[in-house]
Amino acid sequence: MADAVIIDAVRTPLGKGRPGGALAGVHPVDLLAHPLAALVERTGLDPRVIDDVIVGCVGQIGEQSTNIARRAALAAGYPERVPATTVDRQCGSAQQAIHFATQGVLAGAYDVVVAGGVESMSHVPMGSAVAGADLDGTRLSERYPDGFVPQGISAELIAARWGLDRSALDAFALTSQQRAASARDAGRFDHEIVPLKVAGPDGGPVEVAVDEGIRASSLDGLAKLSPAFRSEAMAKRFPQIHWSITAGNSSQITDGAAAVLITSAERAAQLGLRPRARIHALVVEGDDPLYMLTAIIPATRKLLARSALCLRDIDLFEVNEAFASVVLAWASELGADLDKVNVNGGAIALGHPLGASGARLTTTLLNALEQRDDLKLGGAATQGAKRRMSLRGMRHAVALFLQHAPIGDLPIEEQYQVVADLWFALVRTWPEAWNQPRTHLLTKGIGVHGVSLLAADIVKFAMREGEN
């Protein structure tokens, strides 16, 4: 049976995407090269075996143009024979890179692939690639004669449609900041962040090891912020808008990069690598381009249906916080428990480096799986079950579906045998096994992004502190 597994996933700390930000002095190529090199260093992988490097990036202009993936791979010290390519599915770009890599492994076209993403919004501001051009042409304009709207207006429309007031949006934003600060202080980001050195104010090296966007906040402080997208023209066109979206309940403009190492279980065994996750299913989905960010709703439904699961089967969710209204509308529509959503904070607190966020969410979700692993190790590793979901979006939605099996304490040979036995047992009992939500042998999770729905069903191998 063809499979694809995640060996490791890392990211840079996230810096404010503006001049003076923690990573503003780092060239985008060097920013991406950092996690690419870290994957090789952490896993001990010989980079000569890498078949391809696939990277997401939205602002492919200026310093991020002309295939930044190839330049960063060479900067990371990868052999010249290792190819690389850069993809753009807007905010889902890095997760699309992960899916392309997975599809290549499943198809037998790749054995070992690195997927990831990068965005230096301090170097290449959002929208730079547009350069004032007409993006629609004649035929698209004829289909949508009223025209599209900026994302901020879409977020306002979502808030109005789902009846989300300013106080609800600000309360969600405050929770994101509080959870991120708690995760930072407790060291829950330490295993996923690879610190890097930058030039300090005096020119000397300064280590950046934490996310810069996390900040102390309060409901009173958030309430003082003015609406960020108020427009007389849009108010006339959409009188239902209450103007509740502010800088405080929106994602931050951010610099960052992340990378994920993907191979097959068979190749991992040959290379002596320990898988942390297995990927199985991929899907994509779109939605109304006016609302733009709502595709995570049909994406989630499609993913759950394809996996024969329901929402209550999922224990944790990662939903990209492009705007608070997006996550709250998704939760309201599907009946999701917000106590399970973005337990370590989200993009409102951490930031949203556009082309990198898909890989960042995957990395954070994978570590959350391991940190919250309370499954009991029995003889057949069958006790308990956990599931995780991560979501993010723009016009389409991208979803990542994780499965986890707590067998990390076993010798590597026994791990592969146990997973093979469990997997084939599930296949033989399909769909009956999935209709027993508390007797599953494997942990599950889903991730959705708003640019395309991509789902990956992953069996995760527990890897604890001090393990190789």
Q: At what angle do helices 28-43 and 68-75 cross, to 10 degrees?
A: 50
How many structural domains compose the chain? 1
**241 vs 300, which has greater pLDDT?**
241
Decide if 188 is inside a domain.
Answer: no
Q: At what angle do helices 324-334 and 296-307 cross, to 10 degrees?
A: 40
Read off the pLDDT band of 326 (50, 70, 90): very high
Q: How many CB atoms lie within 10 A of CB 102?
A: 28
Decide if 347 is inside a domain.
Answer: yes
Decide if 413 is inside a domain.
Answer: yes
Instruction: Write down the pTM of the prediction.
Output: 0.84
For residue range 6-53, what is the model confidence (pLDDT) as tens digits? 999 999 999 999 999 999 999 999 999 999 999 999 999 999 999 999
- Mean pLDDT lowest among 135-139, 188-192, 302-306, 427-431: 427-431
DSSP E strands in 296-423: the ranges are 316-319, 387-394, 396-405
Q: What is the pLDDT of residue 309?
A: 79
Does position 427 have pLDDT exceeding 80, yes or no?
A: no
Read off the pLDDT band of 1 (50, 70, 90): low
Report d(CA 461, CA 78) in Å as an integer.
27
- Mean pLDDT lowest among 92-101, 140-149, 396-405, 430-439: 430-439
CATH code assigned at 379: 3.40.47.10
Does position 279 have pLDDT exceeding 80, yes or no?
A: yes
Decide if 391 is inside a domain.
Answer: yes
Task: Name the burial class of residue 260, with classes exposed (0-12), middle (13-18) and buried (19+) by CB atoms within 10 angstroms of its CB.
Answer: buried
Of 191, 187, 181, the C-alpha closest to 212 is: 181
The mean predicted confidence, pLDDT, of the chain is 83
CA 325-344-412 angle, 5° bins: 130
Decide if 38 is inside a domain.
Answer: yes
Q: How far is CA 424 from CA 1, 417, 419, 455, in A?
A: 9, 11, 8, 21
Report d(CA 338, CA 332) in Å as an integer.
10
> Is the alpha carbon torsion for 101, 106, 110, 112 positive or negative?
positive
Q: Region 201-224: what's the mean pLDDT? A: 95
Decide if 377 is inside a domain.
Answer: yes
- Using an 8 Å Cβ cutoff, are 352 and 91 in contact? yes
CA 314-116-357 angle, 5° bins: 55
- Using an 8 Å Cβ cutoff, are 169 and 325 in contact? yes
- Using an 8 Å Cβ cutoff, are 289 and 135 in contact? no
Tokens of 184: 């930072």
Decide if 379 is inside a domain.
Answer: yes
Task: Name the burial class of residue 449, with classes exposed (0-12), middle (13-18) and buried (19+) by CB atoms within 10 angstroms of its CB.
Answer: buried
Q: How many CB atoms lie within 10 A of CB 288?
A: 13
Q: Region 441-449: what's the mean pLDDT? A: 42
Q: Tokens 């870290």 map to which residue?
A: 38
| DSSP annotation of 227 | P
- Strand pairing partners for 116? 55, 259
The domain in which residue 85 lies consists of 4-124+254-461
Decide if 212 is inside a domain.
Answer: no
Most confident by average pLDDT, 90-99, 309-318, 429-438 = 90-99
Give the chain's largest Cα–Cα span: 66
Does position 122 have pLDDT exceeding 50, yes or no?
A: yes
Peptide bond into 431 cis (omega under 30): yes
